[in-house]
Amino acid sequence: MFFHKELTKEKWQKLPFFEQMANIGAEIGRTMNWQKKDKELSDAAFYRGIELLDSTIEDKKNRKKLKELCRLRETLADYFCFDNIYGSTDEKWNNYFYPFNYAARAGK
């Protein structure tokens, strides 16, 4: 991993899926929070989130979720880097990631 130097692939793959997604959601939340304040910090958070998402995609336990994870990557890139053809909003991203955070905290 490039941005998360302390996080190895093995450590990441030991995390349950909901914790992986909650961590990705936290980085995307930071991306949105910094968007209007500091583009450099916003971009860094986005790339950290994509890095975690890529590691989640590579995790063999998530094979059945591969289509959703790849579509997630595509729509995040569309929203933050391109023309937002999917019509995403900050509110929609918060609504998408919130249940993962809740499930991770509940120990699911």
Q: What is the pLDDT of residues 44-75, one digit of tens each?
A: 999 999 999 999 999 999 999 999 999 999 99
What is the structure's pLDDT at 4?
63
Provide the residue range defining the domain that includes 50.
11-102
Cα 5 to Cα 108: distance, rounded to the nearest angstrom: 27
93 found inside a domain? yes
Contact 107, 15 (CB under 8 A): no
Residue 2 clears pLDDT 80, i.e. is over it: no
59 found inside a domain? yes
Query: What value does the mean pLDDT take over residues 84-105?
Result: 97
Please state the domain count of the chain. 1
Residue 85 vs residues 9, 50, 74, 75, 78: alpha-carbon distances, Å: 32, 19, 11, 9, 7
Contact 8, 93 (CB under 8 A): no
At residue 20 the predicted structure's pLDDT band, cuts being 50, 70 and 90, is: very high
What percentage of the chain has pLDDT greater than the value 70?
Answer: 94
Residue 26 clears pLDDT 80, i.e. is over it: yes
What is the structure's pLDDT at 16?
97
73 found inside a domain? yes
Backbone φ and ψ of 83, nearest 5°: -95, 5
